[in-house]
Structure formats: C-alpha cells, structure tokens
Amino acid sequence: MMIQVDRLTKYYGDYAAVRDVSFQVKAGQVVGFLGPNGAGKSTTMRILAGYLTATSGSVQIAGLDVFWKPVEVRRHIGYMPESCPLYAEMRVEEYLRFRAGLKGVYGSNRRSRMDYVLQRCWLKDVRRQLIGTLSKGFRQRVGLADALIANPKLLILDEPTAGLDPAQIRETRSLIRELGKDHTVLLSTHILSEVTRTCDHVIIINKGQVALDRSLKDGDTAEQLEELFVRISDSEERVKRPMPAGRN
C-alpha cells in the first residue's frame, strides 16, 4: 500500500477544509484526484507531501507515518504544487542541480538523473535559460522535472496541466501515462478527459469529504465522469463557502 489515509481532518481555525477523509492508493496506480474548487484537494496533497500537518487522523506513505517520520517520507515523494513556485533568477540546470542536492542525489548519479529528467520533460533546449524568462508551460515542466529528479516512488502532482496550451497538455498527459508505469502517481486536475485517459482510479472530494472512490473501467467516458461530478457538487445545494484568511 503506497498511501494510506485514515480519517484525515484538517481545520484552519474553525473552518474544516478536510473532514474524515480516508482512502488508499496501491503502489503503481495512477489516481485522479478531483473535486470542486475549495473542496480540500490541495490541502490533502499538502498534508501528504508533509508541508502541512493534519489536525487529526493519520497518513502513511510506504508504511511510514507522515507525522512521525516526515523527512524519510519526503524522500519517497516528488511533489509539484499548483502554483509551481521556482526561483526566477536561477537557470534551469542550476535549479535542478540544487534540488537534486537537497534530495540527496550527488556526483555522477546527479548528472545522469539530470540528463534523464531534462530529456523526459523536454527541457534540453532551455537548460541554460533563466527560469524567470520561461513561459508557463516550461515552468510547469521544470516543476515536474524537479519532482522526478530523485526518482521517487510516489509523485504528487497538483494540477500539472493548469495553464498549458493543448499541445503541451497532450505531451504532459503522455508523460504522466509513461511515468505511471514505474511510479505511483496522485494527480489532481479539472480536466476530466485527462482523468479517463491517464488514470486507473478516481477519487472525488467534495466539501472536505470523499464522495467517490473507485477504479475507472474501460467503458468510463469523460461525460459520465462529468455527470457524476456535477451531481456530487450540486447534491447539497452548493453555497459559496468563504475561504479562510489564513491559508498560505
């Protein structure tokens, strides 16, 4: 079992972003994490990645508890947050070397990993370019390359195709499909066709709780998924919930 989430709850003050969420992800699966905006997807992913701590409940990744052994858990994870923050004044190569060093990849291993991710994420042409001068699509790729650099068993990708043009989306999608063969991937997205094409399992979160958790069969289409999604989000008259101020 790669990820085991048990009754995860996260409160921001009085606001329950995530309430009693439980799910499991087996090794080698590619799981699509869906939900309306504000449902708690990013919060859950951040808790899994070790950036935030849950208010209650437990998360185990590769058998290690995220709360008690955070550093070991992080070695198994490649995380790419939604906003894809990067240091604009560094070059792509420099940045990846730095991230590899942080993650414990050195020497000739580092060089070969860097060549590998630069190639896999189509960054070979821009390796000496300043990150601040790259377009959004390239920056997402750098973020993805960073997530891959230490060859983690689990990839947590928060909206990896947000803001990309259709050609880039297609490339990223095929990349994720390939990665799914060797790594476990948990990715969140709003593009349902992506989910049906790359994922073999889908989890829908609504209002901080798991609304749907099942494998995708061959016959499932994006329209059916959309229907499910809309039904779930509308089922309890969706009132606009105000975002709490302290979310950083």
Residues near other proteins (CB under 8 A): 46, 49-53, 71-72, 74-75, 77, 79, 81, 83, 85-87, 89-90, 98-99, 101-104, 106, 146, 246, 248
DSSP 136-199: HHHHHHHHHHHHHTT--SEEEEESTTTT--HHHHHHHHHHHHHHHHHSEEEEE-S-HHHHHHH-
- Give the amino acid at 142: V
Instruction: Confirm if 187 and 172 have CB atoms less than 8 A apart.
Output: no
> Minimal distance in Å, beta carbon 81 to other proteins?
6
The residue among 191, 228, 231, 183 whose CA lies nearest residue 33 is 191
Is 97 or 173 the residue whose CB approaches other proteins more closely?
97
> Minimal distance in Å, beta carbon 51 to other proteins?
5
> Minimal distance in Å, beta carbon 53 to other proteins?
4
> Minimal distance in Å, beta carbon 181 to other proteins?
24
CA separation for the pair 35, 84 (Å, rounded): 20
Is 27 or 102 the residue whose CB approaches other proteins more closely?
102
Is 156 or 204 the residue whose CB approaches other proteins more closely?
156
Is 83 or 235 the residue whose CB approaches other proteins more closely?
83
